[in-house]
Amino acid sequence: MRYFIWLTFLLALLWLGLSGVYKPLLFILGGASIALVVWLTERMEVLGAEHDPGALSWRLPVYWLWLIGQVVLANIAVAAAVINPRRIRPRMIEIDAPQHSRVGQVTYGNSITLTPGTVTTRLDGSQGRLQIHALLPEAISDLEAGEMERRVCWLEGPP
């Protein structure tokens, strides 16, 4: 039950933050939308201990800030590579995804894809491996250094 309360709270907070218009009709429509999403989530059985929206707590905004910084740095690197195309050396690599949940592995893969110059092309959850396409050698070395991997593991929290 607490999962649904957290989901309702987070959706209401998101809706209030994004709408910017606080009129009675919109409150009713927003409340109905939130109720529909929570009901569909319950019917689809996609919410539980592994997908607890409240479990991420304060770690999620901290991770997002760090990821935004990485996206900006990667944008600069890709822009520099466009100016000097000799730096571009596309390559496919496989890296470990040691997160203890499927949500953690997907978060890791999506974080890589959000970073310009890298795309997650395959996730093998049973073996904990990601296949990555990277444009620049420095992107590959960053992934192999494992900073993003450690950050996503930290985001997940203890198993």
pLDDT digits (tens), the chain, 159 positions? 777 888 888 889 888 888 888 899 988 999 999 999 888 888 877 666 555 555 556 788 899 899 999 999 999 999 999 999 999 999 999 999 999 888 889 899 999 999 999 999 999 878 889 999 999 999 999 999 999 999 999 988 777
Distance CA 159, CA 156 (A): 8
Per-residue DSSP letters for 7-31?
A: HHHHHHHHHHHHH----HHHHHHHH
Contacts with 12 (C-beta within 8 Å, 6 or more apart), sequence order: 30, 31, 34
State the pTM of this model. 0.71
